[in-house]
Structure 1
Amino acid sequence: MFTGLDIGGTNTDIAIIDSEIKTHKIPNTSGLSTALKKAGSSGRLVVSTSQPLNEILTGPQFNIRTITIPGPGLVYSGAIKGAVSHRGDIIEPIDTEEVKSLFKGPHPYAVAISGKFSVRNNSLEEQVCDVVSEYLDPEQIAVSSHIGALNFPARIKTTQINARIKPKVNALNNLIREVNADFFYVTSTGGLTSPDRALQNPSLLYHSSPATVANGAYYLTRNENCLVLDIGGTTTELIPIAHGKPIFEDVIIDGFKTLIKSVKTVSIPYGGDSCIRETLCPFRAGNARSFGGGEPTLTDALNVSGARIGDDDRSHVIDKKIADNIVEQYLITVSSAVKKFKPGIIIGTGYLAHYLLSEISERAKTTGIVPEHAGSANAVGAAVSRISILGYFHVDTEKKRMTMNGKEYPYYATSDDEELLAHAKNIIRDVARADGAPEEDVEDVMIQFFSSYEVVRGWKVAAKITDILLSIAPGISVEAA
């Protein structure tokens, strides 16, 4: 049995998939514990949440202290003594007293620790982490080696994001474990990760909702090339799918490149809970009146125009002409955005898809499909997703050293690239299996990057250096297909 739980801004959607699909919608005012108990503890539980994204977009601006270990001659904010060479050797130790001196004044909310070559040897980062742990709790400290990519400036920014949202992810872990100790999260690319791995690299959870909706829409319709139109409470997301998978892009935050990848979307700031104040506003002030709220919304305008959603009698506080104009404003905005994609098929998801997709697809001159369980497609997508792992390997034959994401693994002595690649694939498969992936889901390991060169010294080959980036790609679990 597969259970998906999507924590949205207004409701938490639940999808339970066994011999059939059952869905439930729980208002967030009832509390997450209520939704978790409704989901039950049988089978595999997967959680998708917008909380880390909301923390970045709307949360308070906490004091995040950045500690960098760039090495000699490099100038970065928060730099301290210590250095790891490009081959993973420690060429300068850290000064623990220097680290302690950073905490003589008021302590920060969290600390982000980034070493230039920590993905090849993470020992200096861990030593700094040990010192900082004397002043802060573990959930207030983020290190960069778990991110698993070399780009130092982007890794610093990503580690700062991790430090900011790690306390939120830790609190969520504890809350979910009170009801169900065995669960996974959906990542920003639509794969699954364990709660422990999410705590090491919280940015994995950034903006996971479009990924879950894409997986859910594909699972419910099996349309490999389409445009998913997800009508939520606060936004409407347009998500293109090609060959059964969404398209990924690098995330830029506050003008800085990060090492976060997420599903490519076009976001329109209107949804079912967008309130009406003379015109349709790009924000929500609570639930629609038909669901107990105080201000009229797009949902209420649909009711006044003839729909029957919730307690539709409460919606009739706005004039029908105004309601028709509000609905028209929404339809023009969305259909214009859809036309730019020139889709052959639109898959409508979200609670209001049944009421709006027909008109949108007609205006966009394309075919629209609203599958069964469209209102909980995000939870369906969470339930059926598979575990995804990203591993950056660095191998040095002279040092007899092999690391993945900064952690050392037993060295495998070979000069043959194919043998080394097969060994690295087996390591990442073992990591995925340890996280709970079934055998069928770890067969397909993608090679995202491979580079190998020889170090010549005294006219002889002294070493061979190899860098490999492997991933178990996100998608639908074979067990759920």
Structure 2
Amino acid sequence: MNYRIGIDVGGTHTDAVLLDADYRVLAQTKTSTTSDVSSGIYAAMREVIAQSGVPRDQITYAMLGTTHCTNAIVERKRLNNIAVIRIGAPATMAIKPLVGVPDDLRKLLGQHVYIVRGGHEFDGRELTRLDEKELYRIAEELKGKVNSIAIASVFSPVSKDHELRAAEILREVLGNEIPLSLSYEIGSVGLLERENATILNAAIVNVAKTTAYGFIEALKAEQVNARVFFGQNDGTLMSIEYAVKYPILTIGCGPTNSIRGASYLSGLANALVVDVGGTTTDIGVLVNSFPRESSLAVEIGGARTNFRMPDLISIGLGGGTIVRIQDDGSFTIGPDSVGYQLPEKGLAFGGDTMTTTDVIIALGKADLGDASLVAHLDRQLLENVYNRLVEMAEEAIDKMKTSAEPVPIILVGGGSILLPDELQGALTVIRPENFGVANAIGAAIAQISGQIDRVFSLDEMDREKTVEAAKRMAIDEAIAAGAEESTVEIVEFEDIPLSYLGNATRIRVKAAGTLKASAEVTNLV
């Protein structure tokens, strides 16, 4: 029997599940998310293994959805010493790299910034020849000074040649050990945002490596020799090697794990997913069993980027959200929360802070804590607070809908006990079994995917051949990430003609497949 562990780190709780080969939940647990993140992960992992009683040598997969990389960027800690090389002089000299990045982050990441001659036009023609001599000089200058490099070239999603040649030169001088982040692999059209995404990717390589090593070692300490995979923000998985190369793809994987878990638990492929945690409520859209992607530029740690992210609305409403009541009977709900300290700080648990969970306990809508500790609260006032928190969720749901028509809504997350079985705008409200650990289940059952988002010139190949080539590239990406070739299929396709760029088209393709079962256990060398 092959078993698998799924772990997902939230702002309040770290959830873990252990599933059998048929994806049945054998054990589940919630532990408090710790300040260092890792110790909370290891505690959840140990607990779920002990609870299940499953032989450790039969646990063959371990999937982790983690906030390590997000936290590193937000907290400005544990970042790599990086160099930024933009290929685009003289055309891009007017705006320097790291535009749209907050001053404190720019100070950390902008120590070694270079702009060299080269780059391409929108149709793939060279702007000017790549200055290889300058790249050799830069490589010599960077010896011993940096441990990660970001390379971004003008219109590299159309032609990646200059980025690839720059990478060759840097490896020739600095060796194969130094991680290189190439922008054509990370972002889409739009140099400045793509460059920022690539810079952030280069800055969190060490965090990803440390997290991967730590997780593997923690599994080994439990005598578990499983293949390790990381959750990525499109609701699928990636191998350790892939995660270390593209750690930025782990950012935002928590909500997408919940969305994928909600789809699996409910059996629905198209719906709105409302994931209520201890601190926030995240609302996303299921489209063909995968999260809908945002079409807008996304800020990460204050830096504007354009790589793929799930389309979400987050509001400050969760199980630990603080309710403040004024003397005149008015009240406020959040946005702050007691988070994982709810069992100590909530009124119904003997604490001194009124939370949304206390409200539903006092109203008899949840059997938790000690109801006598909240029995003195004014019932009419509690009803008003409860109606308002439901309205907050309904307003956010309304913003995510694309039409006035009612849609199925799936409630997941431990905090979803706050919400009723009927909501405005809902065709039906589904609260599936194991809803509290949907995020960890989403991590455990996820597929492996590959995605490309490129601009193609149709002067080189006709549309049909271009589309086929793009689909092949996405399939190859999925296989490289660890998918079984025979199971890979195209799950998303978008073809957008770019008439303002001449005879060009932007193609987005995602391919996904099941985990390769025959591969050896992966460990970083």
**TM interval, short-chain normalised:** 0.7 to 0.9
Taking the aligned partners of 2:473 and 2:513, their CA distance within structure 1 comes to 20
Residue equivalent to 1:34: 43
Deviations 1:313-342 (A, max 9, x none): 696498355655543431221133334534
Query: Could you tell me which residue of structure 2 aligns to residue 338 of structure 1?
Result: 397
Aligned equivalents of 2:372, 2:82: Cα separation in 1: 46
The residue type paired with residue 384 of structure 1 is I
Q: Find the counterpart in structure 1 of residue 447 from structure 2.
A: 386
Match of 2:255 among 210, 228, 232: 210
Cα deviation, residue 450, structure 1: 8.9
Relative to 1, partners in 2 of residues 1:270 and 1:318: Cα closer, same or farther, differing over 3 Å? farther
Residue matched to 2:154: 116
Structure 1, unaligned stretches of length 5 or more?
397-413, 453-464
Residue 97 (1) aligns with residue 137 (2): yes
Q: Which moved more, 1:272-281 or 1:382-391?
A: 272-281
Letter in 1 for 2:59: S
Look up the match of 1:299.
357
Question: Using the alignment, how far apart are the partners of 2:411 and 2:164 within structure 1?
Answer: 49
AA at the equivalent of 1:312: D
| Distance in 1 separating the partners of 2:171 and 2:352 | 51
Shift of 1:269: 1.2
Tell me, in whole angstroms, the C-alpha distance in 2 between the residues paired with 1:4 and 1:326.
36
* Structural mapping, 1:28-177, within 5 Å: 28-29=33-34, 31-37=40-46, 38=48, 42-59=59-76, 66-75=84-93, 76-77=95-96, 78-85=113-120, 86=124, 91-95=130-134, 96-98=136-138, 112-116=150-154, 120-121=160-161, 122-126=163-167, 129-130=170-171, 138=178, 142-147=181-186, 149-177=188-216
- 1:8 positional shift: 1.2
> Could you tell me the TM-score, scaled by structure 2's length?
0.70
Q: Does 1:282 align with 2:299?
A: no
Q: 1:449-469 CA deviation, whole Å, 9 max, x = no partner? A: 5999xxxxxxxxxxxx99885
CA contact (8 A) 1:344 1:366 kept: yes
Which residue is 1:351 aligned to? 414
Counterpart CA distance in 1 for 2:229 and 2:242 is 10
CA apart distance, 1:248: 1.3
1:116–1:150 contact (8 Å) kept in structure 2: no
The residue type equivalent to 1:442 in the other structure is V
Amino acid at match of 1:43: T
5 Å-filtered alignment, 1:161-240, equals 161-178=200-217, 179=219, 182-240=227-285
Matched with 2:306 is 259
Q: CA deviation at 1:272?
A: 0.9
Distance 2:391 2:479 in 1: 48
Deviation at residue 133 of structure 1 after TM alignment: 5.8
- CA distance in 1 between counterparts of 2:205 and 2:372 reads 41
Distance (whole Å) between structure 1 residues aligned to residue 416 and residue 234 of structure 2? 24
CA drift of 1:205 comes to 1.6
Gaps of 5+ in 2: 50-55, 97-112, 220-224, 326-331, 518-525
CA shift at 1:13, angstroms?
Answer: 1.7
Match of 1:319 in 2: 377
Superposed displacement of residue 370, structure 1: 0.7
Distance in 2, Cα, partners of 1:272 & 1:58: 25
Distance 1:362 1:74 in 2: 51
Match for residue 28 of structure 2 among 14, 24, 31: 24
**Cα RMSD (Å):** 4.3
Show the counterpart of 2:109: none
Moved more, 321-330 or 68-77: 321-330
**Scaled by the length of structure 1, what TM-score is found?**
0.76
Structure 2 residue 280 is the aligned partner of structure 1 residue 271 = no
Amino acid at match of 2:440: A
Alignment CA distance shift 1:3-1:109 (3 Å)? same
Aligned twin of 1:3: 5
Residues 256-293 of structure 1 deviation map (CA, whole Å, 9 limit, x = unaligned): 75232222222111111223444332122343443677
CA separation of 1:269 and 1:429: change in aligned 2, threshold 3 A: same
Give the conservation status (yes or no) of the 8 Å contact 2:118–2:129.
yes
Q: Distance in 2 between matches of 1:475 and 1:442?
A: 4
The CA deviation at 1:394 is 9.3
Q: 1:194 to 1:389 in 2, by over 3 A?
A: same
1:172-224, Cα deviation, whole Å (9 max, x unpaired)? 11111212562222221212222222222222122122222221112112223
- What is the percentage of aligned positions where both structures have the same residue? 26
SS at match of 2:483: coil
Compared with structure 1, are the counterparts of its residues 290 and 303 closer, same or farther at alpha carbon in structure 2 (3 Å cutoff)? farther
For this pair of structures, how many residues does the alignment match? 447
Equivalent residue number for residue 104 of structure 2: none
Give the aligned residue type for 1:126: A
* Aligned counterparts of 1:475 and 1:318: Cα–Cα separation in 2: 55
Moved more, 441-450 or 151-160: 441-450
Contact 1:80-1:98 at 8 Å conserved across structures: no
* Separation of aligned partners in 1, 2:454 and 2:441: 34
Shift in Å, 1:246: 3.1
Partner Cα distance (2:504, 2:385) in 1: 59
- C-alpha separation in 2, matches of 1:202 and 1:168: 8
Contact 2:5–2:62 (CA under 8 A) maintained in structure 1: yes
Q: Do the aligned partners of residues 477 and 268 (structure 1) sit closer, same or farther apart at CA in structure 2, a change above 3 Å counting? A: farther
Contact 2:488 2:514 in 1 (8 A): no
- Counterpart of 2:231 in structure 1: which amino acid? V
1:433 alignment partner AA: I
The amino acid that maps onto 1:437 is: A
The residue matched to 1:306 in structure 2 has which SS?
A: coil
Report SS of the residue matched to 1:81. strand
Structure 2 vs 1, CA of residues 475 and 23 (structure 1 numbering), >3 Å: closer, same or farther? farther
Aligned to 2:306, what secondary structure does the other structure show? strand
Q: 1:323 to 1:110 in 2, by over 3 A?
A: farther
The 2-side partners of 1:143 and 1:316 are apart by: 57
What is the letter of the counterpart of residue 43 of structure 2? T
Q: Relative to 1, partners in 2 of residues 1:436 and 1:265: Cα closer, same or farther, differing over 3 Å?
A: same
**Shift in alpha-carbon separation, 1:355–1:281, aligned structure 2, 3 A:** closer
Of 442-451 and 243-252, deviating more is: 442-451
The Cα of 1:374 is off from its aligned counterpart by 0.9
**Matched letter for residue 194 of structure 1:** S
Question: Would you say the 8 A contact 1:272–1:288 is kept in 2?
Answer: no
Report the CA distance shift for 1:313/1:447 in structure 2 as closer, same or farther (over 3 A): closer
Q: 1:66 to 1:181 in 2, by over 3 A?
A: farther
- Structure 1's 273 and 131: CA in aligned 2 closer, same or farther, altered over 3 A? farther
